[in-house]
């Protein structure tokens, strides 16, 4: 079940990218409307909030600091298999995002408030947020981890449009990619991750 959900989300993200890039070369109406509405309603507090999330969700913090802290915390908790799973999810999600960026090469909004890299679709910040949220939920499946994960992804997605660095559909694509990668890898590795230490240490024969 996890595998099919994961593959479905990745397929949906790819289809969304093809739709907004090839079917609507002038940018879909919803994306333009959302960008204009956010720009008109933008306030200093919104921008400050978005700039904080821009720093947390991108650059060396997102690529190195957050994954390393997550992995170290799991290792210290003596959950090295969970740490390996998390590391693989972070790497695979980042790779999938870059692949789709190169595939679609979508132009970003013209009124960006911060500099950003090549390719608007999908949002790497939102994909990273979804990856973190799904990794935490898969390893610690609780109602509160699900709620916090959803709020974190929504906050990151909104922050990207506050800064006009992404179209709204880019953030949806990023969330689909991040979640899809984790679910695919969970379908493959979760039985191994959850295997009791006693079974691993048990003698053979």
pLDDT band of 33, cuts 50, 70, 90: very high
Q: Residue 58 pLDDT > 90, yes or no?
A: no
User: Can you give the pTM of this predicted structure?
Assistant: 0.90
Please give the Cα distance from 132 to 134 (Å, whole number): 6
Residue pair 66/125 in contact (Cβ under 8 Å)? The answer is no
Tens-place pLDDT, residues 120-151: 999 999 999 999 999 999 999 999 999 999 99
- Domain locations along the chain: 2-195
The domain made up of 2-195 is a member of CATH 1.20.144: yes
Integer-rounded Cα radius of gyration of the chain: 18
Angle at which helices 124-139 and 44-57 pack, to 10 degrees? 70
Q: At residue 101, does pLDDT exceed 80?
A: yes
Residue 205: per-residue pLDDT: 42
Does pLDDT of 31 surpass 90? yes
Average confidence score pLDDT of the chain = 90
Q: Could you give the CA distance from residue 94 to residue 106 in angstroms, rounded to a whole number?
A: 17
E strand or H helix at 32, and its extent?
A: helix 29-41
pLDDT of amino acid 201: 46
Query: For residues 107 and 121, is the Cβ–Cβ distance under 8 A?
Result: no
Q: According to the model, what pLDDT value does residue 5 have?
A: 95
> Which tokens is 82 given?
């969970």
pLDDT tens digits for 106-118? 999 988 888 887 8
pLDDT band at residue 198 under the 50/70/90 scheme: low
68 pLDDT band, cuts 50/70/90, is: confident
């Amino acid at each position: 079940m996890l595998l099919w959900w994961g593959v479905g989300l990745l397929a949906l993200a790819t289809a969304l990218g093809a739709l907004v890039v090839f079917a609507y070369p002038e940018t879909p109406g919803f994306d333009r409307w959302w960008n204009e509405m956010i720009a008109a309603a933008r306030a200093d507090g919104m921008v400050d909030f978005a700039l904080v999330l821009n720093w947390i969700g991108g650059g060396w913090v997102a690529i190195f600091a957050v994954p390393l802290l997550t992995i170290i915390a799991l290792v210290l908790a003596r959950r090295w298999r969970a740490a390996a799973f998390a590391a693989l999810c972070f790497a695979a999600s980042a790779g999938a995002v870059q692949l789709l960026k190169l595939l679609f090469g979508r132009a970003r909004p013209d009124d960006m408030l911060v500099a950003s890299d090549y390719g608007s679709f999908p949002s790497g910040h939102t994909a990273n947020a979804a990856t973190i949220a799904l990794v935490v939920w898969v390893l610690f499946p609780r109602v509160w981890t699900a709620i916090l994960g959803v709020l974190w992804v929504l906050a990151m997605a909104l922050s990207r449009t506050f800064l006009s660095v992404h179209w709204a559909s880019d953030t949806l694509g990023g969330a689909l990619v991040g979640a899809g990668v984790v679910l695919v890898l969970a379908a493959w590795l979760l039985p191994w991750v959850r295997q009791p230490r006693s079974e691993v240490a048990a003698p053979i024969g």
